[in-house]
Amino acid sequence: MALKNTTARSCTLGGYPGMLLLDAAGTGLPTKVVRKGTYSFTAMAPTTVTVAPGNAAYFNIGYSDVPVGGEPTCPTSAAVEVTPPNQFDHLTVKATMAPCGAGTLVVSPVFLPVGSNSATTAP
Protein backbone atom coordinates (compact mmCIF):
# COMPACT_ATOMS: atom_id res chain seq x y z
CA MET A 1 0.00 0.00 0.00
CA ALA A 2 1.28 3.52 -0.73
CA LEU A 3 1.20 6.78 1.22
CA LYS A 4 1.64 9.57 -1.33
CA ASN A 5 2.92 13.01 -0.37
CA THR A 6 0.45 15.44 -1.96
CA THR A 7 2.01 18.57 -0.43
CA ALA A 8 4.63 20.92 -1.88
CA ARG A 9 7.17 19.99 0.83
CA SER A 10 9.03 16.83 1.73
CA CYS A 11 7.72 14.91 4.71
CA THR A 12 9.35 12.43 7.05
CA LEU A 13 7.79 9.17 8.19
CA GLY A 14 9.12 6.41 10.37
CA GLY A 15 7.61 3.30 11.84
CA TYR A 16 4.36 1.49 11.30
CA PRO A 17 0.97 2.62 9.99
CA GLY A 18 -2.21 2.14 11.96
CA MET A 19 -5.18 0.36 10.40
CA LEU A 20 -8.86 -0.24 11.11
CA LEU A 21 -11.09 -2.49 9.02
CA LEU A 22 -14.48 -1.01 8.09
CA ASP A 23 -17.72 -2.62 6.93
CA ALA A 24 -19.84 -1.27 4.04
CA ALA A 25 -21.53 1.25 6.38
CA GLY A 26 -18.15 2.59 7.58
CA THR A 27 -18.42 0.95 10.99
CA GLY A 28 -15.23 -0.44 12.51
CA LEU A 29 -14.72 -4.20 12.45
CA PRO A 30 -12.55 -6.15 14.88
CA THR A 31 -8.97 -5.31 13.91
CA LYS A 32 -5.69 -6.36 15.48
CA VAL A 33 -2.56 -4.81 13.94
CA VAL A 34 0.66 -6.75 14.44
CA ARG A 35 3.87 -4.87 13.67
CA LYS A 36 6.57 -6.66 11.68
CA GLY A 37 5.39 -10.24 12.22
CA THR A 38 6.98 -13.29 10.65
CA TYR A 39 6.02 -12.88 6.99
CA SER A 40 9.22 -12.21 5.01
CA PHE A 41 7.63 -9.19 3.31
CA THR A 42 6.62 -7.55 6.62
CA ALA A 43 9.59 -8.50 8.83
CA MET A 44 11.90 -5.60 7.89
CA ALA A 45 13.42 -3.20 10.40
CA PRO A 46 11.78 0.23 10.72
CA THR A 47 13.67 3.23 9.33
CA THR A 48 12.96 6.91 8.88
CA VAL A 49 12.10 7.86 5.30
CA THR A 50 11.83 11.25 3.62
CA VAL A 51 9.15 11.47 0.96
CA ALA A 52 9.56 14.18 -1.68
CA PRO A 53 6.49 16.00 -3.05
CA GLY A 54 4.55 13.74 -5.41
CA ASN A 55 6.40 10.61 -4.29
CA ALA A 56 5.25 7.84 -1.96
CA ALA A 57 6.34 5.65 0.91
CA TYR A 58 5.04 2.10 0.99
CA PHE A 59 4.14 -0.58 3.51
CA ASN A 60 3.13 -4.21 3.16
CA ILE A 61 0.11 -5.95 4.67
CA GLY A 62 -0.31 -9.66 5.31
CA TYR A 63 -3.08 -11.74 6.84
CA SER A 64 -4.40 -15.28 7.06
CA ASP A 65 -7.86 -16.13 5.76
CA VAL A 66 -7.96 -19.44 7.65
CA PRO A 67 -10.36 -19.35 10.65
CA VAL A 68 -8.68 -19.66 14.06
CA GLY A 69 -10.03 -21.69 16.96
CA GLY A 70 -13.82 -21.46 17.05
CA GLU A 71 -14.10 -18.69 14.44
CA PRO A 72 -16.90 -19.75 12.08
CA THR A 73 -16.03 -17.00 9.56
CA CYS A 74 -13.68 -14.05 9.32
CA PRO A 75 -14.83 -10.43 9.09
CA THR A 76 -14.85 -9.07 5.55
CA SER A 77 -14.04 -5.42 5.09
CA ALA A 78 -15.31 -2.98 2.47
CA ALA A 79 -12.64 -0.42 3.33
CA VAL A 80 -9.76 0.23 5.68
CA GLU A 81 -8.70 3.33 7.58
CA VAL A 82 -4.95 3.89 7.28
CA THR A 83 -3.18 6.19 9.73
CA PRO A 84 0.36 7.16 8.70
CA PRO A 85 3.03 6.55 11.34
CA ASN A 86 2.98 9.08 14.21
CA GLN A 87 -0.09 10.86 12.83
CA PHE A 88 -3.67 11.26 14.00
CA ASP A 89 -5.50 11.84 10.70
CA HIS A 90 -6.35 8.83 8.60
CA LEU A 91 -7.18 7.98 5.00
CA THR A 92 -10.02 5.66 4.04
CA VAL A 93 -9.27 3.24 1.22
CA LYS A 94 -11.66 0.76 -0.41
CA ALA A 95 -10.30 -2.69 0.34
CA THR A 96 -11.95 -6.07 0.57
CA MET A 97 -10.05 -8.21 3.06
CA ALA A 98 -11.14 -11.11 5.27
CA PRO A 99 -8.42 -11.52 7.90
CA CYS A 100 -9.02 -14.22 10.49
CA GLY A 101 -7.75 -14.27 14.05
CA ALA A 102 -10.05 -11.42 15.16
CA GLY A 103 -9.13 -9.33 12.13
CA THR A 104 -5.35 -9.73 12.48
CA LEU A 105 -3.35 -7.65 9.99
CA VAL A 106 0.45 -7.91 9.92
CA VAL A 107 2.08 -4.69 8.70
CA SER A 108 5.60 -3.71 7.73
CA PRO A 109 7.15 -0.37 8.57
CA VAL A 110 7.06 2.28 5.86
CA PHE A 111 9.82 2.10 3.26
CA LEU A 112 10.92 3.73 0.01
CA PRO A 113 11.03 1.82 -3.30
CA VAL A 114 14.62 2.96 -4.04
CA GLY A 115 17.53 4.48 -2.15
CA SER A 116 19.16 3.86 1.19
CA ASN A 117 15.83 3.23 2.96
CA SER A 118 14.38 0.96 0.30
CA ALA A 119 13.01 -2.54 0.80
CA THR A 120 11.31 -5.21 -1.21
CA THR A 121 7.59 -4.79 -1.86
CA ALA A 122 6.73 -8.48 -2.14
CA PRO A 123 8.23 -11.89 -1.41
Task: Name the pTM for this structure.
Answer: 0.88
Residue 44 lies in a domain: yes
Residue 117 lies in a domain: no
Residue 114 lies in a domain: no
Residue 120 lies in a domain: no
What's the confidence (pLDDT) of residue 116? Answer: 56
Our count of domains for the chain comes to 1
What's the confidence (pLDDT) of residue 115? Answer: 64
Give pLDDT tens digits along the chain (123 positions).
Answer: 999 999 999 999 999 999 999 999 999 999 999 999 889 889 889 999 999 999 999 999 999 999 988 899 898 999 999 999 999 999 999 999 999 999 999 999 999 987 655 665 544
What's the confidence (pLDDT) of residue 119? Answer: 62
- Residue 96 belongs to domain spanning: 2-107
Distance in angstroms (rounded) separating the CA atoms of residues 111 and 80:
20
Residue 116 lies in a domain: no
Q: What are phi and psi of 66, to 5 degrees?
A: -100, 120
